[in-house]
Copies of this chain bind each other. A is one copy, B any other.
Amino acid sequence: MQQTAEGVARPAGRPRSEKAEKAIIDATLDLIGEGIGVAELSIEAIAARAGVGKTTIYRRWSNKEDLVVDAMASLKPPIPLPEQGASVRDALVTYLRVIRDESSQVRTRCIMNIAMSDAERHPRLAERFREIAVEPRRRAVAAVIQRGIETGELRPDLDAEMAMAILSGTMMWHMKWAHQDRQPSDDLAERIVDEALKGFRPRPGED
């Protein structure tokens, strides 16, 4: 989905369809957030909520599942590429900050929970969501870790998949289970990365 920043003059062409697309995505997320399951969600209801006709939706999405996948993917934007020359630590901190920011939004978390519980009954939806929103992140982080192994910042036998699971899982755990009265500290991403790096860095006296 392409979005135009508020206040910036839209380039010529397709302004109406972009606006409609955003309204359709928002309507879909709103309905899921209100607890409408994927099974009960109807193109009619989405069209009514978005204030568009059904054909406007079908012009862009051939079926409901594809629309739900795109709506969910809009909540998980791709992580920014690390700046040229950034250390592995900085790149991983950036990654964890993205995860922290998106899971600190109650609406996002709520919709993801509902959608994932629904996904158990809709394996194809879950699979496509993984392809569109999870796999690109996995590849981006795997590339950062691979680069860290090459530069010697990380130990050569580090399992990239396990390293990503440790980083993302630890952040997810904090956002889900931390005490409500203990807000995640501003430096949570840094603390997780520094803790994880204690196990990821080459061991002294080894290659």
Measured CB to CB, the residues of A under 8 A from B are 35, 37, 106, 109-111, 113-114, 116-117, 120-121, 123, 126-127, 130, 134, 159, 162, 164-166, 168-174, 176-177, 179-180, 191-192, 195-200, 203-205
Q: Which of A106, A166, A169 has the most CB of B within 10 A?
A: A169
A-B pairs, top 10 by smallest CB distance, nearest first, are A199-B199, A169-B169, A169-B173, A113-B117, A198-B199, A169-B170, A165-B173, A110-B120, A165-B170, A114-B117
**Distance, CA A116 to CA B103, complexed state (A):** 13
Chain B nearest Cβ from A148, distance in angstroms: 15
Cβ–Cβ < 8 Å partners of A196 in chain B: 166, 199
Verify A116–B116 contact, CB threshold 8 A: no
Q: Check B127 against A180 for contact (C-beta < 8 Å).
A: yes
Contact B199 A195 (CB under 8 A): yes
Q: A110-B117, A123-B180, A169-B174 are in contact. List 15 more A-B contacts (CB 8 A).
A: A111-B117, A113-B114, A113-B116, A117-B117, A130-B177, A130-B179, A162-B170, A165-B174, A165-B192, A166-B195, A168-B177, A170-B170, A172-B172, A172-B173, A204-B204
Complexed CA–CA distance, A194 and B197 (Å) = 15
B residues less than 8 Å from A195 (CB atoms): 159, 162, 166, 199
Q: Supply 13 A–B pairs (Cβ within 8 Å), ascending by A.
A: A35-B37, A113-B114, A113-B117, A130-B180, A165-B170, A166-B166, A166-B170, A168-B169, A168-B173, A196-B199, A198-B199, A199-B199, A204-B205
> How long is the Cα–Cα vector from A33 to B36 in the complex, in angstroms?
14
- Bound form: Cα–Cα A168–B162 in Å: 13
Q: In the assembly, what is the distance between CA of A37 and CA of B34, in Å?
A: 10
Docked complex Cα distance between A172 and B121 (Å): 19
Report the Cα distance A164→B195, complex, angstroms: 12
Which of B121, B126, B171 interacts with A180 by CB under 8 Å? B126
